Structure 1
């Protein structure tokens, strides 16, 4: 096979083939059809000199795929992305390569799309106020994704770097949203909170979160890092992508589990159970969706991009 003939799907082509609403729909559809996140193959993490190398394979009846991602914490200081990835999609019957996809663009699409699936099943139908922590590409992706499932009219941005914060605020305004930089306490007025940071400690206290609010925490996938505190985990209805992944990688849950603040029964369900209506979501308490990123998500979105192309 001549590798030069392999279709290459870059960021621009991926966005053309699979806009955010279609990516959200593809993930929701796969879960409704019976995909079990609990059987996902754990990511392999190799520590290397500059950071980490991550391998994320997945398989379905139609496709097999693998994402190779690198996490280099020092890259932003050199004007380079912190995370860089490539995705190889293969035919399941022959294992012949079908497409090579910009894995970084794929991650920037599937991660907020997964969050939006959860928000669509947890947030009030009239949710209008979004507060996002972080001002990088994932922060904008979550603005775009949450807007696809709820009538968001205003966005508050909480971020450390004033220049990036101003850029995200302006980008939100350019699509007709009311947007401004806000302090962490602004979670008190939020219908949806999206945590899209590299923080290793909680971003805000649990008591600041309103009873109706949905909090999405997706920035950390390490057992020692978290974006929300144990008090929120104990207070909220907690939904995870998969129990297996959360109890292996999600510091937001593992840290309060280790301290005894909560036990594993705090997890109300996984994303598939939520989509299928099998999770009880009582009124009068916040909702927390904790994501770490899983290989099945990449495969579903990559396959949808290839199958849905003209």
Structure 2
């Protein structure tokens, strides 16, 4: 059985190939039930995410531990087991953290190709962890960005990430406040329970990419921002059941279920056009779909 660590996974999942693999699995589909979630101590969560297609099956085991920051540990630890769907033989054991980071960022960029303006140059990044790092790298490789402004609840972490990215030629710098006005793309990868971005502060044409609020009690934008935007979710099942930004906006009366215009598969299949006006505010909300992990794992083991 193949064992792939995070360095090998990063090398085997370049952004263009990964984005294309994700586009294909969103277009064609696979069997991927809503993930199983189990509470852990200190507001942690254990997630089990299975998926299967005609050739492969896989399952990701994820521990999300919000209290790990002060411990100097990542908030997310994960492992992925890929198997032959016909024989059941294990194919590979992959570092689930790197797999998750890259497929999450690539899914965001896939959605942004339909929802963000192609000439987007200024990006505000909220968060400074591994997913935020992957988002910065993926967007910089896919859009003509001239600026990535990074904000984090821990200012030192934002500064450290900005320096690491700048050292690799990414135009990043840290900012003291998450002020959204004037940015073309706002990507959020935090575990915030309170809105960081408010609808009244958004500039026309902004694309919101919301990654962090994977539970109903978390949110990164207020209900007014959701109401103002064309809203697309990664999947209806996940977005309408787990996405705090969407679920809370509905509960507060800012929107109804019908305000969620599409899921990402419909954009990839051409069923929904995505952005239709340069001045439109758009919003992509992802909570993670097991099909993304399956596609990424299969691609990583083809090399």
Q: TM-score, normalised by structure 1?
A: 0.93
Confirm or deny: 8 A CA contact 1:166 1:181 kept in the other structure: yes
CA distance in 2, matches of 1:53, 1:131: 30
CA distance in 1, matches of 2:268, 2:202: 24
Paired position in structure 2 for 1:106? 99
- Equivalent of 2:149 in 145, 156, 160: 156
* Structure 2 counterpart SS, 1:188: coil
How well do the aligned residues superpose, as a CA RMSD in angstroms? 1.5
Paired position in structure 2 for 1:7? 2
Regions of 4+ moved over 3 Å: 183-186
* Structure 2 counterpart SS, 1:194: strand
Question: Cα gap change, 1:177/1:72 in structure 2, threshold over 3 Å: closer, same or farther?
Answer: closer
- Equivalent of 1:196 in 171, 174, 189: 189
* Structure 1 counterpart SS, 2:194: coil
Unaligned runs of 5+ in 2: none
Paired position in structure 1 for 2:276? 282
Paired position in structure 2 for 1:119? 112
Q: TM-score, normalised by structure 2?
A: 0.95
CA distance in 2, matches of 1:64, 1:175: 36
Paired position in structure 1 for 2:36? 44
* Cα distance, 1:246 vs structure 2: 0.8
Confirm or deny: 8 A CA contact 1:23 1:110 kept in the other structure: yes
Question: 1:92-135: CA deviations, max 9, x gaps?
Answer: 11111000000111111111111010011111121111110011
Confirm or deny: 8 A CA contact 2:155 2:176 kept in the other structure: no
* Structure 1 counterpart SS, 2:276: coil
Question: Cα gap change, 1:150/1:223 in structure 2, threshold over 3 Å: closer, same or farther?
Answer: same
The number of equivalent residue pairs is 300
Confirm or deny: 8 A CA contact 2:140 2:170 kept in the other structure: no
